Every structure is written in C-alpha cells, then in structure tokens.
Amino acid sequence: MDATEVHEASVGVDETMTDALSPVGDAEMIPKTEEEYAQSMLTLRAIVSSKEAGVIIGKAGKNVADLRDETGVKAGVSKVVPGVHDRVLTVTGPLQGTARAYAIVAKSLLEGAPQLGMGGIAANNGTHPIRLLISHNQMGTIIGRSGLKIKHIQDASGVRMVAQKDMLPQSTERIVEVQGTPEGVEKAIWEIGKCLIDDWQRGTGTVLYNPAVRASPVGTTGAPAASNYGSRPYNRTGNGADFSDQTGTYTNRRSNSDAGNRGYPLVTEDGEEVQTQNISIPADMVGCIIGRGGSKITEIRRSSGARISIAKAPHDETGERMFTIMGSAQANEKALYLLYENLEAEKTRRSQLPQE
C-alpha cells in the first residue's frame, strides 16, 4: 500500500468519529493568528530508537540541554526498557519552539547518521525520518478530507508524510512518519501543530504509547496485564480509545450526557461523576463479548461496576454494534480493559484455529 492509499484509508476511519465528538465543532472554531499559534502550548511526542536517543541526548546530556536553551521547550527521552529498542521523545512548549526543536533533532539525527548506521542513505538525500506519535482521534484533522490537508502540509514543507493505519500496542496513538530536511521538518511540525492545537478536544483522554508494554507480562488469555493498560485517566467527556487489529477496529467514542451539558453532571452513589463512553464492536465479535446466555457481559458488568448496554441493531453500514458504558472513571476503565481482554482472547483463539 502506498502513502496515498494509507492516507485515504485513514480518512475513511477517522471521518466516522466526527458525529460523536463534543459539541464544539469546526463551525464554532475561531481562527487563530500566526502569532497566537506560535505561542500556543503543545506537547508532541515521537518514537526514537535507542541509538537515536543517544544522539539526541548527547554526551552527558549536552545536546538535549542545548536544545532546551535554544528553543525554550521542555524536552526529554523516556528511560531505557530492557529488551525494548523504542524510546519516546517528548517535547513541550510553544508551537514555535516545538517546531524548532524538532528541526534541531532532525539535524542532529542527520549529522549522526554514520553513528546510526545510516550514513549512505542520509548522505544521499539529506533527510532522516521523524516518527511522530499522534492521537488516532486527531488523525482526521491532519489528513483532511480526501487527504487534502496532509497533501497541503507536504507541499508547503517539502517533506514526505506517511500515516500508519494501526495504533501502537495498548495505546490510541498512531505513527506519522515525517521525512525531509531539517527546515522541511520544522515547517511540517508547524502545520501539524496548528492542526493539533485547533483540534485539542479530540486529543483528550488519549492512551499514550508506552514502550514498556512490549516487555510487560501477559495474562492467561494473552491480553496485556491490567496494570499496564489505560495509564491515563479518563476526562469528563470520556476517553477516545480505539483498539485495532486484523479482526477489526474497536472504537471508543467520546460523548457528553445531556445532564453534563446542562451543567449538573450525573453522579454515582459514591459521589463520583458518571461518564458515558461508546465502543463500536465489529458484528462478528459481538457474540464473544456477550457470551452464552449473556454470561460474559454479565461478569464484566459485575466486575467493573459499570452499566453496559448493547444496541440491538448495527449503527451504520459497517454492521458494527454500539456498546454504551456508564459509570465512574475507574469503573469505565475496568470495563474497557475487560472488553479489550475478551476481544484479544477471541482474536488469539481464532488465529489458532486450523486453516481450511
């Protein structure tokens, strides 16, 4: 699949999420000036290899310290996880500084290409790829309808961008690879940052990718251990979590209760605010969630303490069924984990069936 096909496939996924977003839509968005964008705060993460991390940090941390001083951002790389080659670079600061910081990173990686074992490739085209981590829910804004936005970003900056279709393990982030000159990377990050700033609401509740999950223990069903799942708390409008694999996409869409919109949110018996989250489950996976006689869904309700209702009919032409979860943040998180665990167990079971 070439980059164009990836972009179009991504648009098709992300546009399905539009209706479930919070009431503040594009029509109500007040355009910012370039100066306002420049000063708007942004956190932008990227995956780097251990070798790339070494180049970015520099001896005794000199490179990353210089980067902070020059751009005014906060920047750091996650700790080494034994047996895992991925680390996460996090840059937080005004958009102008963030874009500049990534340009410096791109330049450092280009200059350090021989150390990274990429001397020939980098020397030939003067570029080194930056693998940004972008919330799945915000991908539609970056790609744009029919891929027009991502094409504009590429044309304006001269970079090549490829959006990966699948989310990273136990997270709702996807990789957008940006490859170009350091100057091109700076321009691209500026445009991408503007999209993320405008579309910040869809990024709330993102489950951040953590390289440690690749080395974490697994439960008896083959699903990730609960302690490693859903590390970020859900916000009051819900979490934008999605789980994708070869068997389908499980989309957890954010929604507000009518009561919450009127200013007095529903609360549980313990005084915690009730949150509503909708998960779209592929039709052929619904049975494994419900179980014989409703046994599995009953157990998930009991274990989590959340209310879970299931739409009787598909909600759109995809044939997917909507599961609505209502409860406290903790109850919803546990319900989501148990649903995900069951889906992963079923996926594993099906993959082990003899091929006809």
SS (HEC) of 183-223: HHHHHHHHHHHHHHHHCHHHHCCCCCCCHHHHHCCECCCCC
Q: Above 50 in pLDDT, residue 132?
A: yes
**Confidence label for 29 from pLDDT (cuts 50, 70 and 90):** low
The DSSP-derived string for 122-185 is HHHHS---EEEEEEGGGHHHHH-GGGHHHHHHHHHH--EEEE-SSPPTTSSEEEEEEES-HHHH
Residue 301 lies in a domain: yes
Residue 242 lies in a domain: yes
Residue 314 lies in a domain: yes
**Whether residues 266 and 327 fall in one domain:** yes
Name the region of 323 (left: φ>0; alpha: ψ -120 to 50; beta: rest).
Answer: beta
**Whether residues 250 and 330 fall in one domain:** yes
Among 182, 203, 224, residue at a domain's last position: 203
Lowest mean pLDDT among 12-21, 78-87, 205-214, 280-289: 12-21
Q: Above 50 in pLDDT, residue 9?
A: no
Q: How far apart are CA 326 and CA 203, in angstroms?
A: 21
User: Using one digit for the tens of pLDDT, what is the confidence trace for 263-278?
Assistant: 344 555 566 677 777 7
**Whether residues 119 and 242 fall in one domain:** no
Q: Above 80 in pLDDT, residue 75?
A: yes
Identify the pLDDT of residue 217: 42
Q: Above 90 in pLDDT, residue 68?
A: yes
Q: Above 50 in pLDDT, residue 25?
A: no
Residue 135 lies in a domain: yes
Residue 104 lies in a domain: yes
Domain that holds residue 183: 3-203
Identify the pLDDT of residue 233: 28
Among 203, 224, 251, residue at a domain's last position: 203
**Whether residues 113 and 247 fall in one domain:** no
CATH of the domain at 118: 3.30.310.210
**Whether residues 249 and 291 fall in one domain:** yes
Spatial CA neighbour of 237 closest among 332, 352, 161, 356 = 332
**Whether residues 108 and 197 fall in one domain:** yes
Q: How far apart are CA 211 and CA 86, in angstroms?
A: 6
Residue 211 lies in a domain: no
Identify the pLDDT of residue 203: 83
The angle subtended at Cα 94 by Cα 88 and Cα 96, nearest 5°, is: 95
**Whether residues 304 and 197 fall in one domain:** no
**Per the structure, how many domains does the chain have?**
2
Residue 107 lies in a domain: yes
CATH of the domain at 326: 3.30.1370.10
The per-residue pLDDT of the chain, averaged, comes to 75
- Give yes or no for a contact between 202 and 141, defined as CB atoms under 8 angstroms apart: yes
Q: How far apart are CA 93 and CA 44, in angstroms?
A: 9
**Whether residues 179 and 291 fall in one domain:** no
To the nearest whole percent, how much of the chain has pLDDT over 70? Answer: 69
Lowest mean pLDDT among 116-125, 168-177, 247-256, 289-298: 247-256
**Whether residues 298 and 254 fall in one domain:** yes
Identify the pLDDT of residue 267: 54
**Whether residues 169 and 226 fall in one domain:** no
What is the average pLDDT across 301-327?
81
Name the region of 238 (left: φ>0; alpha: ψ -120 to 50; beta: rest).
Answer: left
**Whether residues 79 and 150 fall in one domain:** yes
**Confidence label for 91 from pLDDT (cuts 50, 70 and 90):** very high
What is the average pLDDT across 20-48?
73
**Confidence label for 317 from pLDDT (cuts 50, 70 and 90):** low
Six-digit token string for 310: 């299931």
Among 203, 229, 261, residue at a domain's last position: 203
User: Using one digit for the tens of pLDDT, what is the confidence trace for 182-216?
Assistant: 999 999 999 999 999 998 888 877 778 888 766 54
Identify the pLDDT of residue 22: 33
Identify the pLDDT of residue 268: 54
Residue 356 lies in a domain: no
Q: Above 90 in pLDDT, residue 52?
A: yes
